[in-house]
């Protein structure tokens, strides 16, 4: 069994220093996979985070390569002709720093929070993740807007395949569909779309639904009555789960 931990939960607006400290502590505690929440405000520019208070410690060799200036840069923006310009390099530096701190075999997933991004921004984030050698791009935390959708998963899968074909990054990224996957039908659709992992709090119900479906199909083949089951409600308990 592998242990996974979320870094930057749940909005991703923490400064780079804080995220790296979280990541190092998680790996030291036994985490084999880290799900990093993208600071999506750096892509949308609608709520730039405050300049971080922390300063890098030269005594910490694990994160010495990331400077306080780079961390501050994560929270800055440039204005041209009255418009804020996205600083993609700041996002990349954070992702590359995380990869440097947590090399393979630690699995890194970037949570995009797709409900907060346009298709163009999803593609940009996917490109940055691939360039930083992340293993997965993931749809959502489940705490900010809607979760995974078929169009977004399709877009992310297509981006991962295109970037791999172009040689961006050292590996082909996989896609994790997370958020709103609450039924067997939804789970199957996400997998058929190209997701290789699912994030769901309904895993037990989905497996029960799958088992019931298999039983029904077997019953039809054998000419037997399919078994009855309750998945989401239990009248005897007087409520809905």
Question: Closest Cα partner for 229 from 214, 180, 239?
Answer: 214
Q: Which of 19, 109, 135, 138 is catalytic?
A: 138
Q: Which of 35, 87, 109, 135 is catalytic?
A: 35
Instruction: Return the SS3 of 234.
Output: strand
Question: Closest Cα partner for 126 from 174, 72, 55?
Answer: 174
In sequence order, the 6+-apart residues with CB closer than 8 A to the CB of 69 are none
CB 17 within 8 A of CB 43: no
Radius of gyration of the chain (CA): 21
Let me know if 15 is a catalytic residue.
no
Let me know if 176 is a catalytic residue.
yes
Sign for the pseudo-dihedral over CA of 239, 142, 16, 135: positive
In sequence order, the 6+-apart residues with CB closer than 8 A to the CB of 130 are 160, 163, 164, 168, 169, 173
Which positions are annotated as active-site residues? 35, 138, 176
């Amino acid at each position: 069994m592998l242990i996974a931990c979320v870094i930057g939960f749940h909005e991703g607006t923490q400064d780079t220093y804080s995220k790296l400290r979280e990541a190092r502590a998680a790996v030291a505690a036994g985490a084999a996979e880290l799900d990093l929440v993208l600071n999506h405000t750096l892509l949308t520019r609608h709520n730039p985070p405050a300049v971080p208070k922390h300063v890098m410690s030269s005594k910490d060799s694990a994160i010495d390569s990331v400077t306080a200036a780079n961390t501050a840069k994560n929270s800055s923006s440039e204005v041209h002709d009255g418009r804020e310009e996205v600083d993609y390099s700041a996002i990349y530096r954070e992702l590359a720093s995380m990869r440097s701190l947590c090399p393979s075999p630690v699995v890194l997933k970037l949570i995009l929070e797709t409900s907060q991004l346009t298709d163009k921004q999803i593609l940009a984030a996917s490109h940055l993740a691939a360039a930083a050698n992340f293993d997965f791009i993931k749809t959502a935390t489940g705490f900010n807007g809607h979760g995974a959708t078929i169009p977004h998963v399709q877009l992310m899968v297509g981006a991962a395949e295109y970037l791999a074909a172009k040689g961006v990054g050292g590996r082909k990224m996989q896609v994790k569909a997370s958020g709103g996957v609450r039924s067997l039908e939804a789970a199957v659709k996400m997998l058929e779309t190209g997701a290789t992992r699912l994030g769901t709090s309904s895993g037990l119900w989905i497996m029960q639904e799958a088992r019931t479906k298999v039983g029904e199909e077997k019953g039809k083949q054998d000419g037997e009555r399919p078994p009855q089951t309750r998945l989401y409600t239990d009248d005897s308990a007087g409520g809905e789960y």
